[in-house]
Structure 1
Amino acid sequence: MTAFVLVSGPFTGGWLWQEVAARLGESGAEVYPATLTGMGDPRRPAGPGTDLETHIEDLVRLIDEIDAPEVVIVGHDYGIHPVLGAADRRPERIARIVYLDAGMPQDGDAAVALVPDQTIREGLSHQGGQSESDWRIPAPQHDEWQRWGSTDGIPAEALARMDRLAVPQPAGTFTQPLRLSGAGSGLPTTGVLCTANGSSIEMVEFLVTSGPPQFRWLADPRVTFFELATGHWPMLSSPDELAGVLLRAAAGEGHRVTTAPGEQPAHLRTFLLDVEERPRERVGEVDLYLPDPPGAPDAERPRPAVVFVHGGPVAPDERPTPRDWPGYVGYCRYVASLGAIGVMLDHRLHGLADYARAAEDVAAAVERVRADPRVDGDRVALWYFSGGGLLSADPLAEPPPWLRCVAMTYPVLAPLPGWGMVDARFRPVQAVSRAGRLPVVLTRVGLENAAIAATVGEFLSTAEDCKADVEVVDVPLGHHGFETIDHTEEARGAVERAVRAVLGHLMG
């Protein structure tokens, strides 16, 4: 017999699962809808010291009381944090972990980082959760639930029940980091993705094949996925469908993302152009690729520079780091072979809330490069890739006089669905209206992820309306990351056209 432990998101308790629990029970399963400390059970009130550890201990005690041989533990939204903590303590009892429209927190992550609404997230980040006045987060009411996730499909009476039964959330549950030993890292997992809230199997497949390398684990055969065409609270909007999906997940069913056995990750494959090595100088987090070796007659002559800004987010422990990925190295060498200085840096875009920090890293690198006597500080281009495209908002909104061109390749130009934690400042689709006559070279791939392609379309529409100077280099049969995936004449020609367009603005 299978036992389901159901853990809801913030402000709610076991009552949220009433309809789902009934349907699971009808199938013969044991069902334990958890109400964690302070979340509505008068026997376990919260206090200023209630934190994530309190909720993990609640679940560990519950798991220890269950006799069923197989426990499937389901974490919705914030609930995935105590679920992962409890599974780490009792891995031998857990048959499967289900991420129900939840993030993928790692060791050291606090739940506050995944709160979708920026205003709420910033307020929580400043809440210590220690004093008598600030240790609780007021429960949403009415339209405020939308700030925590899509309410699509929830009947009016169910929304009214949420308003009536929701309770304040102890702030410490959001601000205390999750601590994991790794004991539960090999457990089978299932992701249940709610498409009206912005997640989908298509996006997962894109992340595995073309996204940051930390998502490769999603192709593990022990990982399965389901989609529900509803909002963030499927236990209220689609209880029958959710119960069916949970039963199938417990049986090991679901969509599996696959990669070819032994296939090298896309970001580590060779660059599509055969470019000779150029002299490289590494200073801190910045690499300079120079047109001439030291001591050559023109080695000290100031040259224009192209600063390449990698995409992401990329996990902080990823090795090699982006500045050593073949694609970026290839671009830098190619630029240097044509007489400019190629610049590559590692920036700290490790999570969706890190864009401001990454922008600081890029700005500091640019200033360091412009101060180098071998660089013509008045002739610099910035070139952004993939998720790094959001970082182009600052120079587009206020182009500095030394910036001669902005380039973008398969860029993300507005936060994608589910990226609510990205600072509102990083919206290139809006910033381009202030770019004036700053030249923009945008490389667009025809086989792009639909959500990313939509941001590019919106950007180009705004650019056309404001008569921005945008040149589009199309790669009709190109994929996201095509420089190491599509070794075709079309792809090679696109890289050559884009590079020469950028250098034309620098050297003309």
Structure 2
Amino acid sequence: MTAFVLVSGPFTGGWVWREVAGRLRAAGAEALPLSLTGMGDGPAGGPETDLETHVADVVRAVDACGAAEVVLVGHDYGIHPVLGAADRRPGRVARVVYLDSGMPGDGDAALALAPEGTVARDGFVAPPSGEGWARWGSLDGIPAEALDRLDRLAVPQPERTLTQPLRLAGAPFDRPTTGVLCTANGSGIAMVEMLVASGPPAFRVLADPRVGFLELATGHWPMLSAPGDLAEALLRAAADEGHRVEAPEHEAWPAHAGAFLLDVPERPRDRRGRVDLHLPEAEGPRPAVLFVHGGPVPPDRRPTPRDSPTLLGYARYVAGLGAVGATLDHRLHDLADYPRAAEDLAEAVDLVRADPRVDGDRIALWFLSAGGLLSADWLAAPPPWLRAVALSYPVLAPPSTWRAVHPRFRPVGAVAAASPPIVLSRAGLEHEVFATAVEEFLVAAGEAGAELDLVEVPLARHGFETLDHTEETRAAVARATRAVLGRLLPTAD
């Protein structure tokens, strides 16, 4: 028999699993919904209750379980005590299920993944209510009665459970693991594949053959919104079903290792620290386009972004058309690195504008992919010399699972009538969560009266410059480039 120990997220207890547990038992499994210390109907707790207290709660449940196979399920915050217990009872835990949760490791505190502005009073974090729960995850699919129950039964979370670091002797993925991803909350298998291919090194463990993934088309609280589907997913996880993600076969620039879609000749290049200048055949100071890559990009990735086919291709292309093509290696190595990447971008802008070969009053910034979040500062408070902002298959609002991104980086909320002219290239085959944010951005730009030139690429994927070599994508790149240079180059040029 398989026993599922079900550990819920913040502010909740074992009651939240009622429907799921019933379905698991009906299928012949043992279901143990766990109420942690201080969490509702769990053992009494107080301000002294910390993460180690909750780890001990899960360990006791594992020790008391007589089933041959124990599967630990951690939802949201619950993955922290689950991992702690699995680390202490490696021989008893057959599988860990990450239910729409983060990927904490040794030394990580749960507070890092809490919504910005989460504060404690008198040793506790108060639960949200009503639509306030959406700050902790999508409410998609939750019936009104279930949301009322969430409000009624939620309890304050002891602060130390969120601030005490998780301590692990082993690696979290040194055992069979399943990720159950809630697509309406922004996660999905396509996102995992992209992170494995091009994200920080920490995500490479997700390509381990012991790790599988299942999707649920619902929000962050599937035990309330889709209990039957969740129970089925947990049974499939215990049976070792699930999609396996393959690691890239090379360490070169991810998925974009092919050539640029346009055949552009090399231009003279001048390397200045993190910035390269690709120079046109023209006299006098020329306008410049600075290309800003996405990520996160591992610090050991070679080639670095400015030597990737995409940025090289764009920079050479605009240099051939009479502008300086500038590229940048910024330090977006992790989702928490956006402030540092923004500093690198500001320094690069100053360097480009100060170069005597550049007309510092005619600059455009071109953001690609997750670099799009860095556009927020420039859209909200544009300097007069910024003549255009270009966005290609951009991330314009972080998915809800990207909680480590500082709230300052929200272009959807930054666009305004005073924003510089915007040239946005939209990939028709974009990842759903990114496509939704682009649509929200277009609505916000329209309501603000911002000047926007939309370049539609219906049959293109994210990163289409090196993935989709078609007449449609070539025409789209040419059109977007003409739109940007049209704001930089006087007719006489």
Give TM-score, length-normalised by structure 2. Answer: 0.84
Quote the offset at 1:467 in angstroms: 5.3
How many residue pairs get aligned? The number is: 489
Query: Which sits farther off after the overlay, 479-488 or 21-30?
Result: 21-30
CA contact (8 A) 1:139 1:166 kept: yes
CA contact (8 A) 1:349 1:358 kept: yes
Query: What SS does the aligned partner of 2:35 have?
Result: coil
Counterpart of 1:455, as a letter, is A
1:448 equivalent to 2:430? Answer yes
CA distance in structure 1 between the aligned counterparts of 2:389 and 2:219, rounded to whole angstroms: 37
Quote the offset at 1:246 in angstroms: 1.0
Matches within 5 A, 1:86-485: 86-115=85-114, 117=115, 121-124=116-119, 134-154=122-142, 158-180=146-168, 183-201=171-189, 203-204=191-192, 218=206, 220-257=208-245, 265-284=254-273, 286-291=274-279, 302-314=285-297, 320-352=303-335, 354-416=337-399, 418=401, 425-435=408-418, 438-463=420-445, 468-485=450-467
CA distance in structure 2 between the aligned counterparts of 1:320 and 1:377, rounded to whole angstroms: 29
CA contact (8 A) 1:214 1:318 kept: no
CA contact (8 A) 2:397 2:411 kept: yes
CA contact (8 A) 1:306 1:381 kept: yes
CA distance in structure 1 between the aligned counterparts of 2:438 and 2:151, rounded to whole angstroms: 38
1:16 equivalent to 2:4? Answer no
Query: Which sits farther off after the overlay, 308-317 or 71-80?
Result: 308-317
Judged with a 3 Å threshold, the aligned counterparts in structure 2 of structure 1 residues 231 and 405 are, in CA distance, closer, same or farther, namely closer
Judged with a 3 Å threshold, the aligned counterparts in structure 2 of structure 1 residues 164 and 489 are, in CA distance, closer, same or farther, namely closer
Judged with a 3 Å threshold, the aligned counterparts in structure 2 of structure 1 residues 195 and 475 are, in CA distance, closer, same or farther, namely closer
CA distance in structure 1 between the aligned counterparts of 2:59 and 2:271, rounded to whole angstroms: 49
CA contact (8 A) 1:289 1:333 kept: no
CA distance in structure 2 between the aligned counterparts of 1:270 and 1:97, rounded to whole angstroms: 41
Q: Give deviations 1:212-263, integer Å, cap 9, x for gaps.
A: 7865654554333333344332323433332222112101123445688779
CA distance in structure 1 between the aligned counterparts of 2:200 and 2:271, rounded to whole angstroms: 24
Quote the offset at 1:409 in angstroms: 0.9
Query: What SS does the aligned partner of 1:444 have?
Result: strand
Query: What SS does the aligned partner of 1:433 have?
Result: coil
CA contact (8 A) 2:428 2:458 kept: yes
Judged with a 3 Å threshold, the aligned counterparts in structure 2 of structure 1 residues 501 and 216 are, in CA distance, closer, same or farther, namely farther
CA contact (8 A) 1:192 1:227 kept: yes
The Cα RMSD (Å) is 3.6
CA distance in structure 2 between the aligned counterparts of 1:330 and 1:28, rounded to whole angstroms: 58
Quote the offset at 1:187 in angstroms: 2.6
CA contact (8 A) 1:308 1:383 kept: yes
Q: What residue in structure 1 maps to residue 35 of structure 2? A: 35
Structure 1 unaligned runs (5+)? 128-132
Counterpart of 2:5, as a letter, is V
Structure 2 unaligned runs (5+)? none
Quote the offset at 1:385 in angstroms: 0.7
Judged with a 3 Å threshold, the aligned counterparts in structure 2 of structure 1 residues 290 and 242 are, in CA distance, closer, same or farther, namely closer
Query: What SS does the aligned partner of 2:261 have?
Result: coil
Query: What SS does the aligned partner of 2:468 have?
Result: coil
1:47 equivalent to 2:53? Answer no
CA distance in structure 1 between the aligned counterparts of 2:23 and 2:401, rounded to whole angstroms: 29
Q: What residue in structure 2 maps to residue 488 of structure 1? A: 470
CA distance in structure 2 between the aligned counterparts of 1:419 and 1:198, rounded to whole angstroms: 9
Q: Give deviations 1:92-112, integer Å, cap 9, x for gaps.
A: 433222111222334544322
Q: What residue in structure 2 maps to residue 130 of structure 1? A: none
Judged with a 3 Å threshold, the aligned counterparts in structure 2 of structure 1 residues 315 and 110 are, in CA distance, closer, same or farther, namely farther
Q: Give deviations 1:399-429, integer Å, cap 9, x for gaps.
A: 2111122111111234445556655544434
Give TM-score, length-normalised by structure 1. Answer: 0.82
Quote the offset at 1:164 in angstroms: 4.5
Task: Report % sequence identity.
Answer: 65
CA distance in structure 1 between the aligned counterparts of 2:174 and 2:161, rounded to whole angstroms: 25
Q: Give deviations 1:169-212, integer Å, cap 9, x for gaps.
A: 12222233445555332433222233443444455556567877
Counterpart of 2:455, as a letter, is V
Quote the offset at 1:142 in angstroms: 4.7
Quote the offset at 1:2 in angstroms: 1.9
CA distance in structure 2 between the aligned counterparts of 1:382 and 1:65, rounded to whole angstroms: 60
Quote the offset at 1:381 in angstroms: 1.2
CA contact (8 A) 1:89 1:183 kept: no
CA contact (8 A) 1:288 1:341 kept: no
Counterpart of 1:122, as a letter, is G
Q: Give deviations 1:44-82, integer Å, cap 9, x for gaps.
A: 52433x433443344345434545342211110111122
Judged with a 3 Å threshold, the aligned counterparts in structure 2 of structure 1 residues 379 and 231 are, in CA distance, closer, same or farther, namely closer
Judged with a 3 Å threshold, the aligned counterparts in structure 2 of structure 1 residues 496 and 64 are, in CA distance, closer, same or farther, namely same
